[in-house]
Each structure stands twice: as structure tokens, then as C-alpha cells.
Amino acid sequence: MKAILGFEDGDFVVGEGFGAEGIFAGELVFSTQMTGYMEALTDPSYHGQLLMFTYPLIGNYGVDVANFQSSRVWARGCVVREVCSVPAAQPTLRHFFEEQRLPGMSGVDTRRLTIKIREKGTIRAALIVGDSTLEEAITCARSIPSISDQELIPDVSCPAPYRIEGKGKRIAVIDLGIKRNMLVSLKIRDADIFVFPHNATYHQIAACEPQGLLISNGPGDPVRATDAIRTVHEFIGTIPIFGICMGNQITALALGGETYKMKFGHRGTNQPVRYRDGSIFITTQNHGFAVDGDTLPEGCCVSYTNANDRTVEGFENPDLDISCVQFHPEAHGGPRDTENHYFDMLFGRIG
């Protein structure tokens, strides 16, 4: 099948389509990871985006359902240089996309598109699989709203509270689109986990008498998560608070800080992060927004910074018992430098 990827600036590329026919539009972003492509595609944080992989061959070990980060693929489309036709395990990525009616595009110069995004910033795009015109793809790309104007979190958050029983510390989780491995990291430490929807109130969460509050990752602009920001604000100073990815941004906003949209964000499994003691961790990341460290209130200190661009990768407020990170310590596949580092610290701070 023919596939066209049109951009809001009037540019386009033509390639081979696989999976579902149709029109699929979103913000085009790239990830530098070489493995863990299914973990990325099923990450709810990619909701609203077309995901392009910079590594030239995707699908070489098939589709590993056991490592899905949610029950489905959330990326609105997948763009690759080449899809592996004879993987080490079945099913193939192409077969999976066909079976699940997902849109994909191959046979394009992903290096050129990556350079384009790094020079011009994240761009709106439309992927059309099947017969179409270049003009239609470009028009569609220009018509979709900005990621900051979309309500994405309600789609990926759990519809109702649920519990994963454990004999250890009682952790409340605000689900903004949580990845399964976050829950796995809590469960292997025997936590008693209470998961709540994005719009849960302070009183609903407090009723489970949590010993700690974790705010998860999620898609879109964090300022749109008004319910979660309000709830976290009410918990500040009452119990330890921890945030991962969007949870880092939500906590900063709840404290009165500010966030901003990055030019092209951090997505991949090779982002170097410098901890406050000077040590370096290699981390997995997926975010297009960041905390403005200069707006954090008195008592907060930036504890992690990105070694490449010096953006905030985490902050702490010891007096309020808050510790948040922008990267994903739970991420597999990817480096495991920070899972024990962060989650053991989390549990150590909960009385």
C-alpha cells in the first residue's frame, strides 16, 4: 500500500503503508531507542502522537506481548525505515499491525525527518495509508489541534479505582496513563497499591489512608490535568509525594511552579542524567514538556539535570517530603540504572 506523511509546513514524504488504511494525524515525535519498540508503542504517554523510530530496523524480535505497557497501542501511527520481515519470534510487527488495524509507514528516510524535527521542532503531521493526495495529507496535518489543546488524559486513565493487594506500605497512585512497569516496580516491593483515576478527589484518595502518593506519567500538556494538580496540592505536606514523568510536572504545578513545551523533547533509552552528587545515570525518557526550575518555590531544589541540555530531570523538597523525577526509572526495555536507586529511595522515605 502507498502511504503519505504530510506536514503542517507543506513538506511530505511518500513510502509504503502497512496495517490499517485510513487517515491518522498527530504530533510527529522520534525515539532513539534500538529495542523496546513495543513498550514505546503501548506507552499511553504517546497518545495523540505519531511515533517515529530513528533506529533503521524495527521488529527484529517480533511482538513481545508480555512487555506491553498497557492493553493496546496508543501511538496514533508508527513510522520506520524498515520493518523486519523475518524476526526472531512471531508474530511479525507487520502482521500485528494488520490484525489490530493499526497504521504504519516504512521505506522513508527517518534520518532526514529526525534532522527536520531537531531543526524546526516537533511538528504536526498526518499519516494517510492507502490512496490519497499530497494536498490532503498536508491539509489534514494543518487542521489538527496543537497537543496543548487536546484532552488526552481521560482516554488513558483508569475509569474507576482499583486495588492491587500487598502486605507492605500502602501507596496511592493517581493514574494519568500509567505504564504497567510502574505498578510492577511497586508490586515487587510488596506495596499495597490503590490506583485512582485522574479526576479523583483528595477525600476519595485519603479514604484509603495512604502512606505515600505517586503521580504517574501521561500524555499531552500537564497544565490540562487540573483535577490532579488540585488534588496533589491538597496532599502537599501531609504524606510523602513522588512523581514520575508527567507526575514530576504535576507536582511542580501543584507547588506553584511552571512548565513549558520543549522544542523536540526527550524520547529514547539513552538520555544521560546528572544526579546532585555528580553521578551519571543513563535513563529512559518520554516527555515533550519540562519543569522550569527557576519557578520552583523556596525549599525546592533541582536534584537531577539532563547532561545534554541541562533541563530539569527531577526535584526535591525535603521539608515537604517530595521527590520527583522526569525520567522513567521503571522502564524496561532500557537501562535499569535508576529503578533501585529511585524506588528504594521512595520506600525508604515512607514511614
What is the per-residue pLDDT for 90?
93
| Residues taking part in catalysis | 245, 328, 330
Residue 74 confidence (pLDDT) above 90? yes
How far is Cα 33 from Cα 94, in angstroms, rounded to an integer? 19
**What number is the average pLDDT over the span 271-280?**
95
Q: How confident is the model at residue 9 (pLDDT cuts 50, 70, 90)?
A: very high
Contacts of 195 (CB under 8 A, 6+ apart): 158, 161, 162, 163, 164, 173, 175, 178, 183
The amino acid occupying position 170 is: R
Q: Are residues 194 and 78 in the same domain?
A: no
Q: Is the peptide bond before 62 cis (omega within 30 degrees of 0)?
A: no
What is the per-residue pLDDT for 207?
98
Burial class (CB in 10 A: 0-12, 13-18, 19+), 311: buried
pLDDT digits (tens, 9 = 90+) for 106-126: 999 999 999 999 999 999 999
Report the percentage of the chain scoring pLDDT > 90.
91
Of the listed ranges 131-135, 155-159, 197-201, 212-216, the one predicted with least confidence: 131-135
What is the per-residue pLDDT for 333?
67
Q: Are residues 159 and 266 in the same domain?
A: yes
Q: Are residues 87 and 157 in the same domain?
A: no
Strand partners, 287: 266
Q: Which of 95, 112, 144 represents a domain boundary (last residue)?
A: 144
Q: Are residues 181 and 278 in the same domain?
A: yes
The sheet carrying 258-275 orders its strands as 162-164, 192-196, 170-174, 212-215, 241-244, 322-325, 312-317, 301-306, 258-275, 280-292
Q: Could you tell me how many helices (H) and strands (E) the chain has, helices first?
A: 10, 19
**What number is the average pLDDT over the span 320-328?**
97
Q: Are residues 165 and 305 in the same domain?
A: yes
Q: How confident is the model at residue 335 (pLDDT cuts 50, 70, 90)?
A: confident
What is the per-residue pLDDT for 272?
96
Q: What CATH number should be reported for the domain holding residue 290?
A: 3.40.50.880
What is the per-residue pLDDT for 319?
96
Q: Are residues 220 and 324 in the same domain?
A: yes
Burial class (CB in 10 A: 0-12, 13-18, 19+), 167: exposed
Report the percentage of the chain scoring pLDDT > 70.
99
Q: How confident is the model at residue 345 (pLDDT cuts 50, 70, 90)?
A: confident
Q: Are residues 110 and 165 in the same domain?
A: no
Host H or E run for residue 145: none
Give the side-chain half-sphere CA count within 13 A for 273.
30
Burial class (CB in 10 A: 0-12, 13-18, 19+), 274: middle
Q: What CATH number should be reported for the domain holding residue 42?
A: 3.50.30.20
**Model pTM above 0.85:** yes
Strands 77-79 and 57-58: unpaired
Q: Are residues 108 and 131 in the same domain?
A: yes
The CB density around residue 76, as the number of other CB atoms within 10 Å, is 22
Q: Which residue has the cell 511530505?
A: 12
Residue 338 confidence (pLDDT) above 80? yes
CB 307 within 8 A of CB 273: yes
Contacts of 177 (CB under 8 A, 6+ apart): 44, 45, 47, 70, 74, 152, 153, 156, 157, 216, 217, 218, 219, 246
Host H or E run for residue 249: helix 246-254
Taking each helix axis from N to C terminus, what angle separates 180-187 and 339-349, rounded to the nearest 10 degrees? Answer: 60
How far is Cα 311 from Cα 318, in angstroms, rounded to an integer? 21
Give me the number of domains the chain comprises: 2
Q: Are residues 133 and 220 in the same domain?
A: no
Q: Which residue has the cell 505515600?
A: 212
Host H or E run for residue 301: strand 301-306
Task: Look over the chain and give the mean of its residue pLDDT values, rounded to a whole number.
Answer: 96
| Range of the structural domain that residue 183 is part of | 153-349
Q: Which of 98, 124, 144 represents a domain boundary (last residue)?
A: 144
Residue 192 confidence (pLDDT) above 70? yes
Q: How confident is the model at residue 167 (pLDDT cuts 50, 70, 90)?
A: very high
Q: Which of 101, 127, 144 represents a domain boundary (last residue)?
A: 144
Q: Are residues 56 and 191 in the same domain?
A: no
Q: Are residues 217 and 83 in the same domain?
A: no
Q: What is the CA radius of gyration of the chain?
A: 20
Q: Are residues 116 and 12 in the same domain?
A: yes
